[in-house]
Amino acid sequence: MVISSSHIYSKRNLDVVKTNTANKINEKKFSQNGQIHIYQSSYRGSYTSIIRDSLRNAALGRKVLLIQFMKGGVKQGIDNAVKLCGNLTWVRSSHSFDHYNPEGIENNKILKKSIHESTIELWNFCKRELQSGENDQIILDEIFLAIVMKIIDKDDLISTLENRFISGDVILTGTDIPKDLLLMANQITELRS
């Protein structure tokens, strides 16, 4: 079952254009950026519909960037991104949380450092892409898990989203979503089993 709600979140996200007609000032507001969509679920691995939609958008000619923060790939990382449909760039961290249990990470300082560094590298790449304006859609899959694990700072994510230059949508997925980010969303979809 999918439950969605739409919410226009931020007056600070709107630019104001003043026009002077017949000594009367009119204000026209317009949104500079696309919308923020949040997909939340009580369990990991429930976002296949988002990946399906990203493939569809890419096939229709939109430039899509899919970042999977906590899923690693064999020799993937930023330098080995996968291109699909000509317009979809799919990037996974070079090391991930998926391959190991939480205790295994905590007990292995070298592994913990490697996962941390590769996730930070992916986040810095993501920030550049959000500022570039070159993508029509950016999907940040499981970014909230990276926040829970204290790899990515919540305030850094909020600031980056507020200052992005993407005209398309930004999609965020995860299980434990901070209230500050829920309040920023134009649409929140809860996926239930």
Token digits for 11?
């007056």
Token digits for 193?
């089993």
**Coil vs helix vs strand at 175:** coil
pTM: 0.77
pLDDT tens, position by position, 58-110? 999 999 999 988 776 666 788 888 888 889 999 988 876 665 566 777 788 88
What class does CATH assign to 2-191? alpha beta
| Average pLDDT of the residues in 141-167 | 89
pLDDT of the residue at 15: 38
> Which residues neighbour 56 within 8 Å (Cβ) at sequence distance 6 or greater?
none
Domain segments of the chain as ranges:
2-191
pLDDT of the residue at 99: 58
Query: Which residue, chain included where needed, has tokens 């000594």?
Result: 23
Can you tell me the distance from the alpha carbon of 159 to that of 45, in angstroms, rounded to the nearest whole number? 27
- Which amino acid, residue 191? L
β strands within the chain, DSSP E? 2-6, 14-21, 24-31, 36-41, 64-72, 82-84, 88-93, 137-141, 169-174, 187-191
pLDDT band of 7, cuts 50, 70, 90:
very low
Give the DSSP H or E segment for 178: none
Residue 122 has pLDDT above 90, yes or no: yes
| Average pLDDT of the residues in 142-160 | 91
Can you tell me the distance from the alpha carbon of 33 to that of 39, in angstroms, rounded to the nearest whole number? 19
pLDDT tens, position by position, 62-73? 999 999 887 766
Residue pair 173/40 in contact by the 8 Å Cβ criterion: yes
